[in-house]
Structure 1
């Protein structure tokens, strides 16, 4: 049985748990891709993706029954880790919203969108008029538009070449980014709530048993901060 196997969602609580973990990690991967060059937010998503093995180790089961084993120590470490990550994403979102409102960046983005939409409407109207007009003027108009487009692209490439690498790597969150980040956070929290509910029910029935060998093996892979957190729990 593979990790995050949704085929086992209805067969056992652990199978159901793995399915929700899979959806949770899907949101993480979307965030990692979307915010790759967005500073701290991108770093948080990358770290969340890199430490998904905490969930994998906690739900890996036993050699006798892969469906019924949940390691409390590893699960607790995972939930501590991802609780902090989600909160950090919220903090970064609030920070970006406050900075965008104070600087007027979001208002400028709104005006730019309105201008772009107006240009698009004018272009469509012009094309419709040209279809019923002189075909020669139509071709000349298209040629002029192609030249203008090539000129803009050349200017953009020149501008990008002049932009320092540090500035190109980290971009500020736009209004659209903030809205997308909020949607991802909501998805993460929804799956996270379901995951913890299933785990709590399982532990209330089976007890908080741990696999020492699994815990020791996983700890060798953990970042120093997570290892310290585990030490505090034990």
Structure 2
């Protein structure tokens, strides 16, 4: 079932369809936020978000019956576009996984995380075993430790500020990024499948009727998706 508009999911096929569309774009917006600095993947999510009006217009209904209208031309245009977007996302994910395996980058990340966890565990164990001579020594030791930690953090911040970050490295998908992207893609495909099942059933009953205006919009609407998205934001 859809994430949004649950109370209306059982009211009608259109209500159910809009609920799944809402969930689909929930995943799109999550992906847009998480991968906005990740090169091509971020661009795909941004474009998907900018052209969501395709589904909105296809299911907007008429002034006489908002629940039963589904425009075939607009729906067909939307499904063609988003099918391609999903394929592009999976292609980018597969590319990132292959590159990570070939370069050994994922393995390095894993070793680094394990090493940091081991050091942290050893430091905590050493603190627990340490028995200060008295409370005065204990407080002095903690104060000194806090000063050293603050000094170290300041030095690390200064070092990071002086070191420029290469754009290509910033856009590289880490192992964690790949796992998150795969989770989002699975959510998108799950909702997309439900959306298309509902639409197919509706067209089987009502036919693939659409007006001339719908056909015209379907042919011209995709190239102006980005412009429409900016208009909505502004």
TM-score under structure 2 length normalisation: 0.84
Pairing 1:87-102 to 2, within 5 Å after superposition: 87-102=87-102
Deviation readout 1:177-197 (Å, 9 max, x if unpaired): 111111111111111110000
Give the Cα–Cα distance (whole angstroms) in 2 for the partners of residues 186 and 133 of structure 1: 58
Could you say what the CA RMSD is over the residues aligned between the two structures, in angstroms?
2.6
Please say if 1:22 is aligned against 2:19.
no
Query: 1:117 is paired with a residue of what secondary structure?
Result: helix
Query: Could you tell me which residue of structure 1 aligns to residue 173 of structure 2?
Result: 173
1:175-223 C-alpha deviation (Å, 9 max, x unpaired): 1111111111111111111000000010011011113335546766542
Q: Deviations over 1:117-172 (max 9, x none)?
A: 11221233234234776434443443344334334433443344345476289421
Quick one: distance in 1 between partners of 2:10 and 2:44? 32
Give the equivalent residue in structure 2 for 1:56: 56
Structure 2 residue matching 1:223: 3-state secondary structure: helix
Query: 1:144/1:79 Cα in 2 relative to 1: closer, same or farther (>3 Å)?
Result: farther
The offset of 1:94, in angstroms, is: 0.6
Aligned residues of 1:58 and 1:72 also touching (Cα < 8 A): yes
Residue ranges of structure 1 left out of the alignment (5+ in a row)? 227-234
Tell me the distance in 2 between the aligned counterparts of 1:41 and 1:84. 13
Match of 2:71 in 1: 71
Q: CA deviation at 1:35?
A: 0.9
1:142 maps to: 142
For the structure 1 residues 140 and 172, does the alpha-carbon distance in structure 2 shift closer, same or farther, using more than 3 Å as the test?
farther
Distance in 2 separating the partners of 1:139 and 1:211: 80
How many correspondences in the alignment? 223
Instruction: Say if 1:149 and 1:38 are closer, same or farther in 2 by CA, change over 3 A.
Output: farther
- Aligned partners of 2:80, 2:140: CA distance in 1, in Å? 64
**Following the alignment from structure 1 to structure 2, what is the Cα–Cα distance between the partners of residues 68 and 200?**
14
Q: Is the 8 A contact 2:74 2:217 kept in 1?
A: no
- For residues 113 and 169 of structure 1, the distance between their equivalents in structure 2, rounded to whole angstroms, comes to 19
